[in-house]
Amino acid sequence: MNWKNQISLGNEISFTVGLSVITLLIGLIGSNFFLVMIGLLFLLFSYTNQLYLKRVANRLTVSIDKDLIKLFKNEQDTFSISFNQNGIYPILGARVRMTIDSVLQFEHERKMINHEQNEIEFPLSLLGRQSASIHLPFQAVERGVAKVRTLEIRIPHLFGFGDVYLKYDQPLPFETVVYSSPKTIGGINRIVPKNLGEYPMKQSYFEDMSALVGARSYVSTDPFNRVHWKASAKTNTLQTRIYERTSQYSWSIFVNVREGKLEDLLSGLTYLLEYATIKNIPFELFVNVRKAGRIPFVHHPLGTGREHLQKALEMIARLSKHSVIVPFSKMVFSAKRQFQLSPYVIFCGNEEEDLGEILLRFRKNGVVCYQLHERDGSVLLSNYSLSNRKVDYDAI
CATH number for position 110? 2.60.40.10
Q: Which residues contact 93 (CB under 8 A, 6 or more apart)?
A: 123, 125, 156
CA–CA dist 364, 224 (Å, integer): 37
Q: Are residues 332 and 291 in the same domain?
A: yes
What's the pLDDT at 386? 47
SS3 of residue 120 by DSSP: strand
**What is the distance, to the nearest Å, from the Cα of residue 310 to the centroid of all Cα atoms in its chain?**
11
For residues 211 and 340, membership in a common domain is answered with: no
Residue 313 pLDDT > 80: yes
- Which neighbouring-strand residues pair with 96? 122, 153
Which residue range(s) make up the domain with 217? 200-246
Q: What's the mean pLDDT when you consider all of the chain? A: 81
Q: What is the pLDDT of residues 34-54, one digit of tens each?
A: 666 766 676 666 667 777 788
Higher pLDDT, 227 or 352: 227
**CA 355/CA 361 separation, integer angstroms:** 10
Quick check: is 387 in a domain? Answer: yes
Q: DSSP character for 189?
A: G
Q: What's the mean pLDDT in 353-369?
A: 76
Shared domain check, 267 and 223 = no
Name the E strands within 144-282: 144-146, 148-156, 163-168, 175-179, 185-186, 194-200, 207-217, 239-248, 251-255
3-class DSSP state for residue 172? coil
pLDDT, one tens digit per residue, over 223-270 is: 777 788 788 888 888 888 776 555 567 899 999 988 778 889 999 999
pLDDT in tens, 125-144: 999 899 999 999 999 999 99
Please indicate, yes or no, whether residues 304 and 387 belong to a single structural domain of this protein: yes
Residue 108 placed within a domain:
yes
* Pairwise CA distance, residues 213 & 245, whole Å: 10
Residues in the chain: 396
The CATH number for 310's domain is 3.40.50
Q: Catalogue the long-range contacts made by 4-7 (C-beta closer than 8 Å, 24 or more residues apart).
A: 4/166, 4/167, 4/169, 5/54, 5/57, 5/164, 5/165, 5/166, 5/167, 6/164, 6/165, 6/167, 7/50, 7/53, 7/54, 7/162, 7/163, 7/164, 7/165
Q: Is the Cα torsion angle 318, 320, 325, 329 positive or negative in sign? A: positive
